[in-house]
Chain A
């Protein structure tokens, strides 16, 4: 596609459930990033991939959060045992590389844990 695509756009889940959020980056972009944005705040870094491997996962808040990118394209962010504090907009971005390259963002997935 022409841009970064995220699905679903909205997700409501019950506390304790498992969720998966999907990101389809711009074709040819080797770097993929996940961020989380709470109301009134800037996006906060979670994890980024260079190709298939997680180059930096230091932003993941705890071991309930996990992300994969098995073929170096589509990525899935997985959240186990969701908590109400996980409610936020999850943003995905991609870029051609890491250094000196422009990051392009998707529209985000709004996750609400009830």
Chain B
């Protein structure tokens, strides 16, 4: 059974720092990987999708990479801002499965 671990569970940084969030899968056979942001009491906002043929995606200050050999992904946030404070979730699916398997998330707090 696929399980997803996100480290750290919580992170507090001062504004302006670069930071890395980590995600690992027990089964490295990941087809797609998606990173989401969730604000308190809200749904999930898609940040980045790494498709099966890709290893990396970038959007603005965000960069996500996926190492399929190890089943590990990282989300890099450059020059963090207080507005980045939220819970970040990673999720992946296998090729024959449409549903995403989620980690528990990393709760990020960026202090002004």
Q: What is A's interface to B at a CB cutoff of 8 Å?
A: 4, 6, 31, 33, 35, 40-45, 48, 50, 55-56, 59, 91, 93, 95, 98-108
Contact = CB atoms under 8 A, between A and B. Distances in A.
B52 A48 contact: no
Contacts of A31: 98
Interface of B: 4, 31-32, 34, 36, 42-46, 49, 51-53, 89, 91, 95, 97-105
Contacts, number: 68
B102 A44 contact: yes
A55 B49 CA distance: 22
A43 B98 contact: no
Interface core residue of B4, B31, B97 (most chain A CB under 10 Å): B97
B51 A100 contact: yes
Contact of A45 (B43, B53, B100): B100
A103 B34 contact: yes
A33 B98 contact: yes
A72 to B, nearest CB: 15
Contact of A42 (B95, B98, B105): B105
20 contacts: A4-B43, A33-B99, A42-B4, A42-B103, A42-B105, A43-B89, A43-B100, A45-B99, A48-B99, A55-B98, A56-B97, A91-B43, A99-B31, A99-B52, A100-B51, A101-B49, A102-B34, A103-B100, A104-B46, A106-B43
